[in-house]
Structure 1
């Protein structure tokens, strides 16, 4: 991955023009995305030295990625991959969604083809250690030490380990294709040539198997690594069926916005090449900024990845996100309120001591500890010196989480602090609405954020039944079943008593299960609500009323949940890779 990719794009002109058919809201959303993207681009430029070799290599990449043929689908992509001899999958190394995309495809083709995975993250010289680790002869810690992982690949091991362990569990061999970097453009091409030799040998030794190559975005351009492999195979009179998978090309995303198809998650570049869109351009660059902030600890991060003093330092701040959301939704935040918000991160070691002294968290310590343990963020509302005060905890630099908690903050300011003692039933649906709004708001920052649908939950349960998620939390299938049962009951009745009778054990459960159950219900509703609002099928006036309503009256949150659900019943789930 050459993250200096931002060099090639010109900064945006001052007179931004938008097609007249765009709705006002959609136009505002795209302008926010562009603003956030260019802000991050400038920050990256300020952090990097100009590199002419990378600029040359990058320009060659964009010569092949100027346009697309049209919308495609995950099904078409998987079909092409399943029928290929070689797959070149581009990766943006600091973006977790980039690695998750690889894992999703491997799961889809599991059992359909025998696969060998070729990874840039491992050096060819370390193949004996790779084999020993995959055979279970080396522990993870020893393996990482033997291959000098931190020096050779300074990116998060946690992002890659699910792929590696999936391969280990399913007997998929892993081959290292990287080599020591040389100087200038020649050094980059030398690495491609070395990788091409390893890939070609692997293909020749394993006829009929799918050779799946994961390399940096720029490397998978047809005139780079694929061309080097093709030239070697031509010498042996061997022809192959190759597929190229790009990810999150921002120049293509802005074109998709112009054509009104930015919700699509797969586009076709040519007959045998695709681009997967699984995050927004600003989020992609933000992942690199976060990595730059703590690159020394990137391979095993042990603390929050934003600045210690409570301001993010790079990229978007929680306060920025809150202001953007309030502006686009036409919700008033009084000027001083942002000063009443404190943001804490995992590296604030005195955080637990701080909240123990807050009367507002009395009775919530156990839930707070559970959320911290599971790597979740949260908002606390309390009174300080006679004024309203707010605290957001973020365990890491996840932009989705920051946007969700920023939305919770806007919601809390608009509705005021909750004072009523809610019943367990009302508390459950109060949380559903709160999480619905939180997810809804986070989609304004990252429209590609994913939520489950009924069908995806059914698939998940089927996969878990086949032991495809051996290390998954046992609560996941429980909650998935409860959600499906809840949806089934929604189609039969609106009577609150029927819901209470059906789910009373879950409402009363003293573990975190009711919280997870209600959160996921809220996420699924918030996802649909976002697209309904964006498409003009749900009025913003209603959204504003939800943000301002404390939902303290008995049964009101439940009624609101059913009202929104019924209004969105015809909204199709937007599938995302």
Structure 2
């Protein structure tokens, strides 16, 4: 197995475990439901062209499209399929899981122009940010623009039979739409597990009854089993779609890692944060680097063309970083560890920003690190004794957080109160990090010499966790002071250009300055 594929697969497994810890209450019925989907999507029969996919979609009366709710590309792909069948001239109806059937009257009023978008989203419980249904707004706006019928197919259900009840309800709604006098083509968008032929499609067949003569087609998106099989065969880039053994199709437009990350980004989204589009991440990074560079008085223009932005979506992320700089084996192990732990990171030697999350805050933070590198060059990676390395990292993290606050002033820093809660509730290394942070903050103003004795000096998870937390706290205080006019622009510029020959003294100087 290629090293890049092994790393990508390891990241997928780690994120899968992380999601499983967050999503609680998976019943035996859910696990069986999931297992049926996975058996159906473990392999493929043949690779298909985009034209072949379009032909099969146009030939179907009802198309079941699998959705990954937090991935905008999944909804964009659905609308591309709708656009293709709409051109065929037959009326098209959209059956959407993001709309509960009980809200059908509100949706109809919106489509008829009698209800505003904001009012509709509020009634649907989606709100301005739309939560996990990141693409709901674009779906509904598309339907209104093209005067398409929208059928809400979801209902609330709990307990062991919730999936079965939801499928049965959706099936009745879909069957009713298919029975309309003008025989519309119904294009369904529903969670990926639901579209397995033995789930929702089978329920629709029962709801329609015998001898209905309607043709159904299942279209998955980025099914994990299919994707990893293609990846092992080296065919991911060449295959846009495949046909499975049961005749279902699977479109390939994003890796399962990217799908997972869209969900984790949704869970971890901070105040004022916003998701970046994969294809626009590098452009947004450069915009933010220019903005922060202007404030810091650092000309970054000549360096921007050389800067590289690598994301977790890049299966060869580590290889691309390695090609841009000389790294020891130990450093490569550390870079691999960063990737697996979903940490964004700026690598000065490679002039590369690795974005673990397609998050505005992450990108802005790494853009600030890039500006800092443009200002001080090799001094950013200067070898230092352990205590100096610790405080240098605190200051680098402070500048990164400060830069992200310039872009998103609503970003919230974990404060002393939250660290106290974590100390009381967390276990293991997380509790140790909280203890070090609290002890250091308590000592650093009154007795800084005592604070220095509290440092975790071995460059491990504890070292990085504590310096990261203290750096964020300092960066947040720096921004608050700058925003209130207590810190001059010239002081910020000087800090960005400081080679940190004595980082310990610089750290405590700023702590005293901001505390006063």
Distance 1:79 1:244 in 2: 14
Conserved 8 A contact 1:118-1:213: yes
Query: Are 1:205 and 2:180 an aligned pair?
Result: yes
The alpha-carbon deviation at position 163 of structure 1 amounts to 2.5
Query: Are 1:285 and 2:260 an aligned pair?
Result: yes
Conserved 8 A contact 1:124-1:175: yes
The alpha-carbon deviation at position 272 of structure 1 amounts to 4.0
Aligned twin of 1:510? none
Distance 1:272 1:222 in 2: 10
The alpha-carbon deviation at position 176 of structure 1 amounts to 0.3
Conserved 8 A contact 1:326-1:332: no
Q: Which runs of 5+ in 1 are unaligned?
A: 1-17, 19-26, 307-316, 361-377, 397-577
Aligned twin of 1:62? 38
Conserved 8 A contact 2:94-2:150: yes
Conserved 8 A contact 2:121-2:128: no
Query: Are 1:172 and 2:142 an aligned pair?
Result: no
Residues matched between the structures, number: 332
| Structure 1 pair 171–379 and aligned structure 2 pair: CA distance change class (3 A) | farther
Q: Which runs of 5+ in 2 are unaligned?
A: 277-309, 335-344, 381-395, 409-516
Distance 1:169 1:147 in 2: 19
2:325 paired residue among 296, 319, 331: 331
3-state secondary structure, aligned to 2:21: helix
1:256 paired residue among 230, 246, 252: 230
Aligned twin of 2:91? 114
The alpha-carbon deviation at position 339 of structure 1 amounts to 7.9
3-state secondary structure, aligned to 1:267: strand
| Structure 1 pair 338–290 and aligned structure 2 pair: CA distance change class (3 A) | closer
Distance 2:248 2:313 in 1: 37
Query: Are 1:140 and 2:134 an aligned pair?
Result: no
The C-alpha deviation readout for 1:272-331, integer Å capped at 9, x for no partner, is 42000111121111111112223xx8xxx732469xxxxxxxxxx979989824565373
Deviates more, 1:119-128 or 1:279-288: 279-288
Distance 1:212 1:303 in 2: 32
The alpha-carbon deviation at position 89 of structure 1 amounts to 0.6
Conserved 8 A contact 2:38-2:225: no
Query: Are 1:383 and 2:375 an aligned pair?
Result: yes
Distance 1:320 1:243 in 2: 29
Aligned twin of 2:80? 104
Distance 2:188 2:128 in 1: 22
Distance 2:58 2:377 in 1: 63
| Structure 1 pair 28–152 and aligned structure 2 pair: CA distance change class (3 A) | closer
The alpha-carbon deviation at position 45 of structure 1 amounts to 2.6
| Bigger Rg, structure 1 or 2 | 2
1:243 paired residue among 202, 217, 223: 217
The alpha-carbon deviation at position 177 of structure 1 amounts to 0.5
| Structure 1 pair 380–82 and aligned structure 2 pair: CA distance change class (3 A) | farther
The C-alpha deviation readout for 1:203-257, integer Å capped at 9, x for no partner, is 111443101111110111111110001012125x312111100011111111112
Question: After superposition, where does 1:276-355 map in structure 2 within 5 Å?
Answer: 276-294=251-269, 302-304=272-274, 324-325=318-319, 328-329=322-323, 331-333=325-327, 346=360
Distance 1:168 1:45 in 2: 37
3-state secondary structure, aligned to 2:63: strand
Distance 2:152 2:200 in 1: 15
Distance 2:261 2:223 in 1: 15
Distance 2:120 2:215 in 1: 34
TM-score normalised by L of structure 1: 0.51
Distance 2:371 2:143 in 1: 38
The alpha-carbon deviation at position 34 of structure 1 amounts to 1.2
2:19 paired residue among 30, 34, 44: 44
3-state secondary structure, aligned to 1:138: coil
Distance 1:239 1:192 in 2: 21
The C-alpha deviation readout for 1:420-455, integer Å capped at 9, x for no partner, is xxxxxxxxxxxxxxxxxxxxxxxxxxxxxxxxxxxx
Distance 1:111 1:338 in 2: 46
Distance 2:172 2:354 in 1: 54
Query: Are 1:77 and 2:53 an aligned pair?
Result: yes
Distance 1:78 1:318 in 2: 31
The C-alpha deviation readout for 1:530-554, integer Å capped at 9, x for no partner, is xxxxxxxxxxxxxxxxxxxxxxxxx
Aligned twin of 2:438? none
Distance 1:320 1:72 in 2: 23
| Structure 1 pair 234–153 and aligned structure 2 pair: CA distance change class (3 A) | farther
3-state secondary structure, aligned to 2:141: helix
Question: After superposition, where does 1:319-468 map in structure 2 within 5 Å?
Answer: 324-325=318-319, 328-329=322-323, 331-333=325-327, 346=360, 381-384=373-376, 387-388=379-380
Question: After superposition, where does 1:526-537 map in structure 2 within 5 Å?
Answer: none
Conserved 8 A contact 2:70-2:266: yes
| Structure 1 pair 99–35 and aligned structure 2 pair: CA distance change class (3 A) | same
Conserved 8 A contact 1:85-1:210: yes
| Structure 1 pair 385–45 and aligned structure 2 pair: CA distance change class (3 A) | same
